[in-house]
Amino acid sequence: MAGRHGKHQARRGGGMKYGLVLVLGLLLGLGLAAAYLVFGDREPLDALLPRPDPQARAQPTPRDSEPVAQEPAAAARPSFDFYTLLPERQVELPGVAEPESPATPAAPPAAALPPGQAPAASPSPGQAGLLQAGAFSSAADAEAMRARLALLGRVARIETVQVDGRTLHRVRLGPFADVAERQAAQQALAEAGIPATVVR
């Protein structure tokens, strides 16, 4: 059998030699840097640091003069301004009606009605009903509908109920103050392509 002549395999183990040289070089550099910091010339570092002026003396305060009153403006001004700024900047939320004072007109006396005729029950505020924009089995679908209503400027809430063993997420708007307001909201939703049903 003929052997290979002319090619020799390179000797391995040279990596240890280079690693040792690298470690020795790092140690030598760190040693020189430490020696310079301890024994080196400190004059350039001292020039950078501030020095107190030995000629400067404290100014004597006049004791015979009247004490100077502190400025009242600094004491009167509060450290925070938001106590006065926030009440001035009230933000009106769309679709949220503030509760009105219960200033309902007095009902006519019952004696003024003919006998045999009962007084007509007028719907009280908030009795105009609710609008239901959908009932979804998925909470994510209900949240998507609520977000769609929010983009239209309507405030909706999600009610989770159990019906026949199934979980439903109802998206509802209201209660509305009167029937006209409810009908206007229902019309606006219909124009946006959202069918809404009246719920009492």
pLDDT tens, position by position, 70-121: 555 555 666 666 666 666 665 666 665 555 544 444 444 444 444 544 444 4
Q: For the chain, which residues score pLDDT lower than 50?
A: 101-114, 116-123
| Pairs from 126-129 (Cβ < 8 Å, separation ≥ 24) | 126/175, 126/176, 126/177, 127/175, 128/174, 128/175, 128/176, 128/177, 128/178, 128/179, 128/181, 128/182, 129/174, 129/175, 129/176, 129/179, 129/182, 129/198, 129/199, 129/200
Where do the domains of the chain lie? 130-199
Question: Tokens 């301890």 appear where?
Answer: 38
* End-to-end CA separation in angstroms for the chain: 104
Q: Enter the CATH code of domain 130-199.
A: 3.30.70.1070
